Structure 1
Amino acid sequence: MEFGVAVASRGEWQVLTVTGEIDMATAPRFRQRLLGVISTGAQNVVIDLSSVDFIDSTGLGVLMGAAKRVRSAGGDIRLVSVGSRLAELIELTRLDRVLDVFDSVAAATDQSGL
């Protein structure tokens, strides 16, 4: 699957839906798109990784950097991860202790979670 990032608004949330692999080759484009959304003043960001086949340490670094930026501005950043392999990686790297992980975009954008 080819790498891509689509951005949509859902209530107070900006949702980035990522497809393909996030690795050393695609991480710069992912970072640029994510920081572009954050620089528009987005306070709440959901990153939907349910269509991501693979993510390496470069991609994980992009997620961590984005989390720092969003939180330093008083916002929130959440992940959506459906694939068991990706969920295992998120758990193994303890990213789930830094970022809230949800099973769906609807659950991640639920306003009662704010």
Structure 2
Amino acid sequence: MTLQVAETEQGPWTVLRIYGELDLVTSPVVRQSIHDAVAFGRHDVVLDLSEVLFCDSSGVGVLVAARRLMRSCGGRLRLILPARGAEEGSHVNRVLAALGVRRLFEVYPDRDAAVDEEAQPLSA
């Protein structure tokens, strides 16, 4: 499966909606999309991972690096990881939790919550 990234802007937020598998082969595409947003002065980024079907350690590495980049430039990073129930729950959410890095991210259930300045992130 290939990976696609669709970029939109909503207020101060750049929303990168990622579709497909986030792995060793495709993770550089996501990394570049994040770097491009920052290069264009967009320091508030939402990564919509609700359509990511698979994520390996290289994908997690991109997410951790994105968090580091956004913090270094005074920006913000939010993830959309919908909770669909125990059996259907977000694959990315399970991988982040299993690796012990889920707590590093501000996670929201959907786009509306992620771009809402008043919304509180989901607990880890």
1:59-78 CA deviation, whole Å, 9 max, x = no partner? 11111111111111111101
TM-score w.r.t. structure 1 length? 0.91
1: CA distance between counterparts of 2:100 and 2:10?
27
Listed as ranges, the matches of 1:61-100 within 5 Å are 61-82=61-82, 84=89, 85-100=91-106
1:102 is aligned to 2:117: no
TM superposition shift of 1:96: 2.2
Unaligned runs of 5+ in 2: none
TM superposition shift of 1:113: 4.7
For 1:52, give the aligned amino acid. Answer: V
Following TM superposition, the consecutive aligned residue runs of length 4 or more in structure 1 with deviations greater than 6 angstroms are none
2: CA distance between counterparts of 1:15 and 1:99?
16
1:93-114 CA deviation, whole Å, 9 max, x = no partner? 2332111111001111111259
Q: RMSD over aligned Cα, in angstroms? A: 1.6
1: CA distance between counterparts of 2:19 and 2:13?
19
- Structure-2 residue corresponding to 1:13: 13
Between Structure 1 and Structure 2, which shows a larger proportion of helix residues?
A: 1
Which structure would you say has the larger RCO, counting Cα contacts within 8 Å and 6 or more residues apart? Answer: 1
1: CA distance between counterparts of 2:6 and 2:29?
12
Alignment: residue pair count: 114
Identical-pair percentage: 35
